[in-house]
Structure 1
């Protein structure tokens, strides 16, 4: 999509409209006026000018592309997709139009269609297409392939902040911390990169710096789910559990089907003693994917706390079948042992659970739970 220089459009549009009053069928003036209207955010005016153009003559591909951009900026993404599709069907298959169609598909949650439009060749030609391709591959779960292409595209567009921001997020998820840090440093004004820097600060045990980054990211992009989750985790480390739960909840809601977010939200409420809401968040994760061990194990913990021991045992066994290293299942098992009066076995299981590394920096769940002010016995100091 083209840059939206509003001031330039505001200055130019009235002048162009005045000239069009004198020469109403001048398509060159109409073309300039459409661009000026888009730049100034006068989208309805841009649409009307486009209709005037079409009444005079068949618009060329560049003007038809502008019609699609108008639809995007109006939030009419289905309409935009139709316009770009027609252009491509008519043989105008250039990178800019492919990117615009891919953008429309991405907004419509048609990730596979978007990826098909942004092939490697298109990504090599346009840095904005490279950034979108990396994000789409990452979102689709193609981590290895996404990283392979990200490194190749970074060599082609080494200074593009959008691409670097996308790479920083991908690198975090594949636990390439060095690459995440380097990529984010090249895109430190982009919300995704700012969020990456916040996540790194949190991993470096600097929650104050992390909060600054997450707040900055959210000021620029209020619907950034990673920033909400990160801010929630930073608040949790600082002991502000109520704020933490609210922020993590917000991130989970925006993500929608991101299992880890719902699990994190459930634990955020758990540490406050709000077991009803905690259960609801774990059940949401279970509904998304019942084969995810932490969903089963987390619900097992809730059932132990609520005294539903038979159901707790069943869920715990299922979780451990799915993943022998499942933290929440180990914690549930320890609580079940405690309920039988078998303190020695329970303490041993808790120690194993608390000392299991949970991230790329070797931080243990015990350290995380201590930071949450849970006071669980045998949790090592962070």
Structure 2
């Protein structure tokens, strides 16, 4: 008999003698949920609410059970009602923030995550949740400050170090990102965030032999890591394995649908596979997320050239280079337009320069492997 089943048997015996004990009923409901007994879990909650209507702990547990069933709207309603009644229990704040984040409601989630993180010693997972909420909101400086402050008080929380390394990477503080990520992996070799950071840094240096294993390790530890999956997609792209690259990027986008750079990488997979219509679909998603991102308009210019719409492409190039004169897609499209206009020498100079020094939207440098992959595309 497992330890959980032993405890369930004990509780049943105690409840036979004291059937209206709310503490025992709450634990019974919790254990049934852990054991996967949904019907028994709900029955125990009904018994609890019969003797203690509106029991706060029971309602929190009810919300957690709803979350486990994927009934997020109902879970949020339960948690929010408790918060509206003045509830400040750290577990309540944490679970409400978590449920809201699962729905992509990061701005609403952040203050509840911040409240939960005040009790970091009791609820260590609240720290990473708050940092992730700030990260998703694009508040990188705030996220870094919160993570650094929390680690000063609780240096034992290694998962926060992995997140901090990721934040440094997004701030382009590469030396700090690498230093912290190495420190994390020395103490916690399976940390997915640290492995992702080091994998992406290796990828930026074109060291695929290091990047690939690190990113695969990150995905093994955290299968829903969009960043790691996207990194593996870039590894495959650089190796010229475009079908595999696209599969990984599509998988990444299930986890991070709001990441503009991943939509760009998907568009590139399709551009390099000579599928302009599908590339345009990916670019439309990127445009929906950010209408002023130069590389998105540059991607449209390349697609328009592939489709023979040169006048529209010229307009897209002007729009792209107006937003960012150094945009890789914009400059690449410009070189293709010059080539189509018979100015082959000028086009070749731009083309060669781009292949040697350009950067993809996620910060990964193009190299000769991508140049070979680009030869697969028929413009």
**Smaller-chain TM-score range?**
0.7 to 0.9
Q: In the alignment, which of 150, 157, 164 is matched to residue 167 of structure 1?
A: 164
| Residue 108 to residue 169, structure 1, CA distance change in 2 (3 Å) | same
- CA offsets, 1:247-279, max 9 Å, x none? 123323442232211111111222233333223
1:218-237 alignment, distance < 5 Å: 218-237=219-238
Match of 1:196 in 2: 197
TM-score normalised by length of structure 1: 0.85
1:15-30 alignment, distance < 5 Å: 15-21=10-16, 23-30=18-25
Gaps of 5+ in 1: 1-5, 377-382
Q: Kindly state the Cα deviation for residue 356 of structure 1 after the two structures are TM-superposed.
A: 4.2
| Residue 273 to residue 88, structure 1, CA distance change in 2 (3 Å) | closer
Match of 1:244 in 2: 245
| Residue 171 to residue 187, structure 1, CA distance change in 2 (3 Å) | farther
Q: Kindly state the Cα deviation for residue 141 of structure 1 after the two structures are TM-superposed.
A: 0.8
Match of 2:312 in 1: 311
Q: Kindly state the Cα deviation for residue 196 of structure 1 after the two structures are TM-superposed.
A: 2.6
Q: Kindly state the Cα deviation for residue 313 of structure 1 after the two structures are TM-superposed.
A: 0.8
Q: In the alignment, which of 84, 104, 108 is matched to residue 79 of structure 2?
A: 84
Q: Name the stretch that deviates more: 208-217 or 309-318.
A: 208-217
Q: Kindly state the Cα deviation for residue 192 of structure 1 after the two structures are TM-superposed.
A: 3.2
Match of 1:94 in 2: 89
Q: Kindly state the Cα deviation for residue 86 of structure 1 after the two structures are TM-superposed.
A: 3.0
Match of 1:353 in 2: 354
Q: Kindly state the Cα deviation for residue 41 of structure 1 after the two structures are TM-superposed.
A: 2.7
1:283-298 alignment, distance < 5 Å: 283-298=284-299
Match of 1:46 in 2: 41
**1:8–1:39 contact (8 Å) kept in structure 2:** no
Q: Name the stretch that deviates more: 339-348 or 205-214.
A: 205-214
- CA offsets, 1:353-373, max 9 Å, x none? 345453899974355633x53
Query: Is 1:150 matched with 2:147?
Result: yes
- CA offsets, 1:221-272, max 9 Å, x none? 4332212211111112223222112212332344223221111111122223
Q: Kindly state the Cα deviation for residue 217 of structure 1 after the two structures are TM-superposed.
A: 3.2
| Residue 91 to residue 364, structure 1, CA distance change in 2 (3 Å) | closer
Quick one: distance in 2 between partners of 1:16 and 1:251? 44
Query: Which secondary structure state, in structure 2, belongs to the residue aligned with residue 36 of structure 1?
Result: helix
Gaps of 5+ in 2: none
Q: Name the stretch that deviates more: 210-219 or 326-335.
A: 210-219
Q: Name the stretch that deviates more: 34-43 or 319-328.
A: 34-43
Q: Name the stretch that deviates more: 323-332 or 64-73.
A: 64-73
Quick one: distance in 1 between partners of 2:20 and 2:347? 84
Match of 1:116 in 2: 111
- CA offsets, 1:49-94, max 9 Å, x none? 0110111233643333323322232323233223333333333313
**1:9–1:38 contact (8 Å) kept in structure 2:** no
Quick one: distance in 2 between partners of 1:359 and 1:341? 27
Question: What do you get for the CA RMSD once the two structures are aligned?
Answer: 2.9
TM-score normalised by length of structure 2: 0.86
Match of 2:53 in 1: 58
Match of 2:174 in 1: 177
Query: Which secondary structure state, in structure 2, belongs to the residue aligned with residue 109 of structure 1?
Result: coil
Quick one: distance in 1 between partners of 2:246 and 2:336? 23
| Residue 311 to residue 357, structure 1, CA distance change in 2 (3 Å) | closer
- CA offsets, 1:311-338, max 9 Å, x none? 1111111111111111111111111111
